[in-house]
């Protein structure tokens, strides 16, 4: 009998649980200091980077509010009528942005709040909703070894998901975590050294790279015992804000504006308000 010995390329960690964290109402993790701009004439800009949707007509937007010094707080906007009107959910976590939206195509949604200070993208909280994006809570990610930032976040259903951290763009480790309870607990599945496989052949700078498509989402409707896509939404930016445009899949093939979101805000004692 011949025994085969395999030497691992890097440390492997299987099912090492991270400390669980309850999902707390956003108000309990909020910074309650006044939301004031640096000077009375100062303004805060809304930057929206991601869009996703929950069946049948719920739409979620994510990004951050910025002043000249950097990120003021994350931006979370939701619509329950297919993008015709919007609700802003206060996420009073200073110096952070909301990214990596995920949904389970039922009633749950998630997003990661990451710090944006000094060039890092360190994840701070996982936001979660289980009622179709009407209410949100926050799960602390302080117990995870978060390295530089998040490479990938996926939720496959209401309970199971993966979170990949890396030290990009500095090289170093890549770590993958798994959750089986909607993000409240995470287990370290794998740790590898060096850049992620997708980054090995990526050019450092490609001036000919095409501009990314604007954030977009699909609207759904019930069709017998399944869901059918019936319209697309996209987010079109301009100097004064964002236009939400809609195109019916079986319609005239054109994009039609359905709503506007302003880009410029003023700080107040308890909320950010659109510039008059």
Encode pLDDT of 170-179 as tens digits: 556 788 999 9
| Alpha helices per DSSP H over the chain | 197-200
> Can you tell me the distance from the alpha carbon of 214 to that of 257, in angstroms, rounded to the nearest whole number?
14
Residue 5 has pLDDT above 60, yes or no: no
pLDDT at 32: 60
> Can you tell me the distance from the alpha carbon of 69 to that of 56, in angstroms, rounded to the nearest whole number?
39
Instruction: Name the more confident of 114 and 22.
Output: 114
pLDDT at 237: 94
Work out the average pLDDT over 100-112.
93
183 in Cβ contact with 160 (< 8 Å): no
Residue 238 has pLDDT above 70, yes or no: yes
DSSP label at residue 143: T
> Can you tell me the distance from the alpha carbon of 24 to that of 11, in angstroms, rounded to the nearest whole number?
34
pLDDT at 12: 41
Per-chain mean pLDDT for the chain? 81
pLDDT-derived band of residue 6, with 50, 70 and 90 as boundaries? very low
Q: What phi and psi, each to the nearest 5 degrees, are found at residue 28?
A: -80, -15
Query: What secondary structure does DSSP assign to 53-80, as a single string?
Result: EETTTEEEEEEEEEETTEEEEEEEEEES
pLDDT at 221: 84
Residue 223 burial class via C-beta count within 10 angstroms: exposed 0-12, middle 13-18, buried 19 and up: exposed
Instruction: Name the more confident of 86 and 227.
Output: 86
Work out the average pLDDT over 157-181.
83
Q: What phi and psi, each to the nearest 5 degrees, are found at residue 54?
A: -115, 140
> Can you tell me the distance from the alpha carbon of 129 to that of 54, in angstroms, rounded to the nearest whole number?
11
Helix (H) or strand (E) holding 218: strand 216-223
Work out the average pLDDT over 143-172.
81
pLDDT at 10: 42
Residue 101 has pLDDT above 80, yes or no: yes
pLDDT at 225: 78
Query: pLDDT (tens digit, 9 = 90+) per residue, 263-276?
Result: 998 876 667 888 87
pTM above 0.85, yes or no: no
Q: How many CA atoms lie within 13 A of 49 on its CB side?
A: 15
Residue 115 has pLDDT above 80, yes or no: yes
> Can you tell me the distance from the alpha carbon of 61 to that of 49, in angstroms, rounded to the nearest whole number?
8
pLDDT at 52: 96
Of these ranges, 25-29, 155-159, 166-170, 271-275, the one predicted with the greatest mean pLDDT is: 155-159
Structure tokens at 197: 């496989």
pLDDT-derived band of residue 146, with 50, 70 and 90 as boundaries? low
**Could you tell me the CA-to-CA distances from 171 to 134, 148, 196, 201, 245 in Å, in that order?**
39, 10, 8, 13, 39
Work out the average pLDDT over 60-70.
90
Please choose, from the candidates 63, 2, 15, the residue with its C-alpha nearest in 3D space to the C-alpha of residue 179.
Answer: 15
Cβ-proximal residues to 276 (8 Å cutoff; 6+ apart), any chain: none
């Amino acid at each position: 009998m011949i025994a085969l010995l395999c030497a691992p390329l890097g440390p492997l960690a299987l099912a090492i649980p991270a400390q669980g964290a309850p999902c707390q109402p956003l108000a309990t993790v909020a910074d309650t200091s006044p939301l004031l701009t640096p000077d009375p004439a100062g303004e805060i800009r809304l930057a929206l980077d991601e869009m996703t949707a929950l069946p049948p007509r719920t739409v979620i937007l994510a990004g951050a509010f910025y002043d000249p010094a950097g990120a003021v707080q994350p931006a979370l906007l939701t619509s329950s009528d297919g993008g015709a009107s919007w609700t802003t959910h206060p996420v009073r976590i200073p110096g952070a942005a909301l990214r990596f939206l995920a949904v389970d195509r039922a009633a749950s949604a998630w997003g990661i709040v990451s710090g944006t200070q000094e060039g890092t993208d360190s994840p701070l909280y996982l936001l979660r909703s289980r009622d179709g994006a009407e209410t949100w809570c926050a799960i602390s990610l302080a117990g995870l070894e978060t390295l530089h930032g998040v490479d990938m976040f996926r939720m496959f259903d209401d309970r199971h998901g993966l979170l990949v951290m890396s030290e990009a763009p500095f090289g170093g480790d890549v770590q993958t975590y798994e959750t089986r309870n909607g993000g409240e607990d995470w287990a370290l599945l794998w740790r590898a050294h060096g850049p992620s496989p997708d980054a090995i052949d990526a050019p450092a700078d490609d001036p000919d790279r095409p501009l990314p498509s604007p954030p977009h989402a699909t609207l759904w409707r019930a069709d017998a015992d399944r869901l059918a896509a019936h319209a697309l939404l996209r987010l079109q930016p301009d100097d004064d804000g964002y236009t939400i445009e809609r195109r019916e899949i079986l319609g005239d093939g054109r994009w039609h504006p359905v709503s506007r979101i302003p880009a410029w805000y003023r700080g107040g004692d308890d909320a950010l308000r659109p510039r008059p």
